[in-house]
Structure 1
Amino acid sequence: MGTANKEQQSSTQGATPFAQTYFHGTKADLKLGDLVESGFNSNFGQGINAKYIFLTSTLDPAIWGAELAIGTGRERIYLVEASGPIENDPDLTDRKFAGNPTMSYRSIHPFKVIGEITIWQGHTQEQVKAMKDALVKLKEKGINSLNDDLQQDAN
């Protein structure tokens, strides 16, 4: 599977053994068949509505997503299927790394929850603390996300 295209088209058919699935880390309590959609509070930042939702083809970024998500819920990693085009996540690709080594993506189209990873190894407390400290330093510099496309709630 090449990553030459900035956008990838996912299957719009139901889940099959050959459909591309992705991971999504969060603290949200979701069920099979639920949709993860944009327009709700982001897992990160200052409680603004996110234009994009995020997914990855590798487990480590999904683990970070679950560990760093705002909220008090249990850290969860879901298997999801994209319902429309996805593109590289600029937080982890174009601005930070050449190409897309973490295989992290974003989309404005919903993801359908098709499973949950229930056994996974998180990062050490020291690693999570170091990442949270780095995010605080970015916030102090006025950088809450390198994604410029987060939108404020219209209400």
Structure 2
Amino acid sequence: MDISDGAQAGRYYHGTRAVLAPGDLITAGRRSNYRSDVIMNHVYFTARVDGGGLAAEIAALLGPDDAEPHVYLVEPTGPFEDDPNVTDKKFPGNPTLSYRTSAPLRVVEEVTGWARLEPAELELWRDRLTAMRESNAEIIN
């Protein structure tokens, strides 16, 4: 699926370094893309493909050297809520269209054509993530 950047009503995206196939379920209870010592109670997703892209880029930066970012079109299989880590702490009103669920997300298809970060942006994120690790700061909950 090749789409332009931005939100599309009723379409949800999940960014990761995991290689998934249509029909796969993304479930809670797995290790975080961002901190391997954290087992996730929720699965996070967004209605913005660029949000899925950023999540995928960060997951790849924090993964093995050969990790590649992937964005998937997903469908929730149960109830979901605004992501309180974003909406309550950073952006009241959920302008990022970020959500979480304890129910699985079903992969519909991989999204292609999403806007990758430019090399300078990737380097900036790499530097930020390194500094956060060195100071034991929370990367992403």
The reply on whether 1:56 has 2:35 as its aligned counterpart is no
The answer (yes or no) to whether the contact 2:76–2:103 under 8 Å persists in 1 is yes
Structure 1 spans left out of the alignment, 5+ residues = 1-18, 148-155
Pick aligned residue for 1:22 from 12, 29, 32: 12
Distance 1:83 1:144 in 2: 29
Greater Cα shift, 76-85 or 46-55: 46-55
Displacement of 1:98 = 2.1
Structure 2 spans left out of the alignment, 5+ residues = 1-8
Distance 1:41 1:25, change over 3 A: same
Pick aligned residue for 2:84 from 75, 82, 90: 90
Pick aligned residue for 1:33 from 19, 23, 32: 23
Greater Cα shift, 116-125 or 52-61: 116-125
Paired amino acid for 1:110: P
Cα RMSD, aligned residues only: 2.0
The answer (yes or no) to whether the contact 2:129–2:139 under 8 Å persists in 1 is no
Larger Rg: 1
Displacement of 1:127 = 1.4
Distance 1:36 1:131 in 2: 25
Distance 1:89 1:138, change over 3 A: farther
The answer (yes or no) to whether the contact 2:50–2:114 under 8 Å persists in 1 is no
Distance 1:49 1:55 in 2: 17
Displacement of 1:31 = 0.8
Higher helix share: 2
- Provide the aligned length of Structure 1 versus Structure 2: 129
The answer (yes or no) to whether the contact 1:25–1:65 under 8 Å persists in 2 is yes
The answer (yes or no) to whether the contact 1:29–1:73 under 8 Å persists in 2 is no
User: For residues 130-153 of structure 1, what are the alpha-carbon distances to aligned partners after superposition, in whole Å with 9 as ceiling and x for unaligned?
Assistant: 223223333444332453xxxxxx
Displacement of 1:21 = 2.8
Distance 2:70 2:111 in 1: 7
Displacement of 1:44 = 0.4
Displacement of 1:37 = 0.5
The reply on whether 1:101 has 2:104 as its aligned counterpart is no
| Residue aligning to 2:58 | 68
3-state DSSP of counterpart to 1:31: coil
Q: TM-score when scaled to structure 1?
A: 0.73
User: For residues 84-143 of structure 1, what are the alpha-carbon distances to aligned partners after superposition, in whole Å with 9 as ceiling and x for unaligned?
Assistant: 111222333221112211101111110000111122221112212222322333344433
